[in-house]
Amino acid sequence: MGETRKSRRNMRESNRREVGKKEMPTRWSRKVVEKLALSSIVALACVFFVTGCFGEPNGNGSSELSGSITVSGATALQPLIQQAAEQFMAKNTKVKITVSGGGSGTGLSQVAEGQVDIGMSDIFAEEKEGIDASKLVDHRICVVGFAVVAHPEVSVDNLSKEQLIDIFTGKVSNWSEVGGQDLPIIIVNRPKSSGTRAVFKKYALDGQEEAQAAVTEDSSGAIKKIISDTPGAISYLALSYVDDSVKVLKLDGKEPTVENITSGEYPIWSYEHLYTLGEPNEVVAAFIDYVLSDDVQDTLVKDLGYIPIVEMEVSRDE
Amino acid sequence: MWDIKQWKELGRKLMRSRFEKSLDVAPYDPLKDEDEMAQGVLRGDYEVQYWNEAKAKFGHAITLICVVLVMVVATCIILFISQKGISTFIGTGISVKDFLFGTVWYPDRPMDQGGPSFGILPFIVGSFSVSMLALLVAVPLGVATAIFITEINPSFGGKVLRPCTELFVGIPSVVYGWIGLSVLVPFIRNYVGGLGFSILAGGIVLSFMILPTITSVTCDALAAVPNSYREAAYSLGATRWQVISRVSTPAAGSGILTGVVLAMGRAFGETLAVQMVIGNVPIIPRSLLDPGITLTTGITMDMVNTVNGSLWNSALWSMALVLLILSLCFMGLVKLIGKRYRSQY
């Protein structure tokens, strides 16, 4: 009896095992493989996330840079810095650079408060009210030239500086008074807080207060459109925005060309700045050096319509 | 065999019993319900009940969290703007009265000429005049469209016209601005007069942007008027025009007014499209063809370039606070209109 029971149990177990053997592989192939695949994906994602977040500690005396840089500020400078940052990140894979706009005021106040590593500005920090410029370090990266532009049908080709000042201060209100046709002058200006307006006021108008403009706009695209559409309109644009839809006026007989600006004969230009709070750390310094290197200055800077800082034969302090 | 009379009698009885049953629906009886619940527990349904209760509590918790989150965010925004906006008036010598009713906006005036001057009346006047002009154009258009859609030709109106007007909502404001700049401004300059950049251009662009709000809210209000009103009027011999002008539209009055105030709020807050066509000159306009400036365009023009914490920047925050208070007033007005009309009808 005992033996038969045993044998029966054995039989049952062996049966079960056999059944198990039959069924296991199919189950395995479905659920377990699926789970394995899923967990491996999750694990991989975790690894990427962790390495992405913390990076590897910069030990072993390796020269490879790592860290993150945040940049904000002047929208005029944003495309240049954005593209330079992408190239820099492609070369230094462990550096993460985030570039955002917001305007010169935002950039300067954020870098002064330590919220970002680099503040982009198109004017000197000293010129901005409410910024403690003594704490900030200035890195000039390129030069932008501005052209005085008018509606294409305006018959005037050249303005003397006095005539330009007279126009923008409201002493002259018709093109006939500066040698053109009988057409009212319509001033299109930028908002008072604009860095470009500050540059224009300082170097083109010798600091004289402008009259109330007929139209105020803050984007270069809109200004170009208004100038090309409105008879008698006059304004100023960065050289990179100038095209055939507007007429470029000479100033004291000088055209706003790169040669005239670098030689100092044409006065309306300004530096583009990167500001840091105190001396920059290793990563930030490497990035600024990269922006100043020939890699960027000869290609990106020129492509985007700026003038490389190294080509300038004259310089300014404030 | 029954004859036809007996069948009729039976039918009548059945009908009556069904009717009487429908009359005395058993009223809600909590005791009986509890009894059923107790019986359910006795039957072993309590697991189901606990599960249902747990689900209800979970749902309650989620909605509560969402409500609290929204309230916290809204309160934070209001507190933040208030705190930033009030800082203009603390320890700076600028009075609220000078700020609201001053006509000179000259934030960078040198100290030897009297120091900076912050008078935002030109902005307030600009905002109000542009919005009012937009309403003046859009309300007749929008209400008339809505009447056509709901009262005159519902099939064409509902299938074609309404989707068309609602299409206006989907167009980004920069597109409105660009069209205004390319078409409307030159048109006004060439055929009406002035520079083109004007209160008129801003108002017209805005009127197209608020048209869908007015149309769709008015449509809903008209559709909500009970049909019995119209039928009663028609049965008394009223013409369609009389029904529309004396019955449906007055009955939908509160809804239409709500739509108008909502549209006004939207017009007040719109920035980009107005900025491109209004000229942005902080002077009180003397005519519709003069350029002007609104609160929102004034803020966007200078906000990015002023330094956080400076007086100029604070003044912009104060303008934002004024804007916030005005839009809260509009909201209150909507509530008030709703309440007044509800008590009236």
pLDDT tens-place string over residues A184-237 = 999 999 988 888 888 899 999 998 888 888 899 888 888 999 999 999 999 999
3-class SS string, chain A? CHHHHHHHHHHHHHHHHHHHHHHHHHHHHHHHHHHHHHHHHHHHHHHHHHHHHHCCCCCCCCCCCCEEEEEEECCCCHHHHHHHHHHHHHHCCCEEEEEEEECHHHHHHHHHCCCCCEEEECCCHHHCCCCCHHHEEEEEEEEEEEEEEECCCCCCCEECHHHHHHHHHCCCCEHHHHCCCCCECEEEECCCCCHHHHHHHHHCCCCCCCCCCCEECCCHHHHHHHHHHCCCEEEEEEHHHCCCCCEEEEECCECCCHHHHHCCCCCCEEEEEEEEECCCCHHHHHHHHHHHCHHHHHHHHHHCCCEEHHHCCCCCCC
Contacts of A128 in chain B (CB under 8 A): 307
Least confident of A47-56, A135-144, A217-226, B148-157: A47-56
Structural fold of domain A67-142+272-311: D-Maltodextrin-Binding Protein; domain 2 (3.40.190)
Quote the pLDDT of residue A211.
86
- Asked if pLDDT for residue A273 goes beyond 80, the answer is yes
Structural domain of residue B16, as residue ranges? Answer: 4-82
Residue B198 DSSP label: S
Cα(B71)–Cα(B83) distance, integer angstroms: 18
Quote the pLDDT of residue A22.
44
Least confident of A64-73, B110-119, B242-251: B110-119
- Asked if pLDDT for residue A272 goes beyond 70, the answer is yes
Q: Which residues of A154-169 are buried (b: 16+ CB within 10 A; e: fewer)?
A: bebeebeeebbbbbbe
Residue B54 shares a structural domain with residue B128: no
Q: Which two tokens stand for residue B270?
A: 């719109």
Q: Do A67-142+272-311 and A145-263 fold alike per CATH? A: yes
For B310, the closest of A113, A130, A218 (CB atoms) is A130
Q: Is A219 on the interface with B (CB under 8 A)?
A: no
Q: Which two tokens stand for residue B6?
A: 């007996």
Cα(A63)–Cα(A68) distance, integer angstroms: 16
Specify the pTM.
0.75
Q: Which two tokens stand for residue A80?
A: 């240049």
- Whole-complex ipTM: 0.71
More confident residue, B99 or A15: B99
* Banded pLDDT at B236 (limits 50, 70, 90): very high
Contacts of B195 in chain A (CB under 8 A): 186, 214-215, 230
Contacts of B293 in chain A (CB under 8 A): 216
Q: Is A184 on the interface with B (CB under 8 A)?
A: no
Cα(A128)–Cα(A108) distance, integer angstroms: 9
- Asked if pLDDT for residue A58 goes beyond 70, the answer is no
- Asked if pLDDT for residue B207 goes beyond 90, the answer is yes
Q: Do B308 and A222 touch (CB under 8 A)?
A: no
Residue B110 shares a structural domain with residue B73: no
Q: Which two tokens stand for residue A3?
A: 């033996």
Instruction: Look at residue B99 and tell me if it is in a domain.
Output: no
* Banded pLDDT at B27 (limits 50, 70, 90): low
Q: Which two tokens stand for residue B214?
A: 């007015």
More confident residue, A156 or B31: A156
- Asked if pLDDT for residue A250 goes beyond 90, the answer is yes
* Banded pLDDT at B23 (limits 50, 70, 90): low
Domain tally for chain B?
A: 2
B contact test, residue of A111, A120, A121, A129 with most B CBs within 10 A: A129
Instruction: Look at residue B96 and tell me if it is in a domain.
Output: no
Residue B255 shares a structural domain with residue B153: yes
Q: Do B197 and A215 touch (CB under 8 A)?
A: yes
Cβ pair A92, A65 in contact under 8 A = yes
Instruction: Look at residue B43 and tell me if it is in a domain.
Output: yes
Quote the pLDDT of residue B211.
93
One-letter identity of residue B223: A
Instruction: Look at residue B97 and tell me if it is in a domain.
Output: no
One-letter identity of residue A209: E
Instruction: Look at residue B98 and tell me if it is in a domain.
Output: no
Mean per-residue pLDDT over chain B, rounded:
87
Q: Do A216 and B276 touch (CB under 8 A)?
A: no
Cα(A80)–Cα(B299) distance, integer angstroms: 27
Instruction: Return the closest-CA partner of residue A161 out of A271, A249, A258.
Output: A249
Contacts of B279 in chain A (CB under 8 A): 214-216
Residue B214 shares a structural domain with residue B315: yes
For B291, the closest of A104, A214, A225 (CB atoms) is A214
Residue B14 shares a structural domain with residue B73: yes
Residue B39 shares a structural domain with residue B176: no
More confident residue, B44 or A169: A169
- Asked if pLDDT for residue A12 goes beyond 90, the answer is no
If one counts every other C-beta atom within 10 angstroms of the C-beta of residue A151, the result is 22
Q: Do A129 and B312 touch (CB under 8 A)?
A: yes
Q: Do B195 and A230 touch (CB under 8 A)?
A: yes
Give contacts of B 242-261 with A, CB under 8 A: none
Contacts of B188 in chain A (CB under 8 A): none
Q: Do B301 and A218 touch (CB under 8 A)?
A: yes
Q: Domain containing B243 — which CATH number? A: 1.10.3720.10
Q: How many CB pairs under 8 A join A and B?
A: 90
Instruction: Look at residue B233 and tell me if it is in a domain.
Output: yes
Least confident of A79-83, A218-222, B272-276: A218-222
Residue B120 shares a structural domain with residue B78: no
Residue B113 shares a structural domain with residue B211: yes
- Asked if pLDDT for residue A60 goes beyond 60, the answer is no
Distance from CA of B330 to the nearest CA of A (A): 29
If one counts every other C-beta atom within 10 angstroms of the C-beta of residue B178, the result is 18
In chain A, what are the domain boundaries?
1-53, 67-142+272-311, 145-263
The CATH superfamily holding the domain A145-263 is Periplasmic binding protein-like II (3.40.190.10)
Distance from CA of B181 to the nearest CA of A (A): 8
For A215, the closest of B107, B108, B279 (CB atoms) is B279
Least confident of A128-142, B74-88, B132-146: A128-142
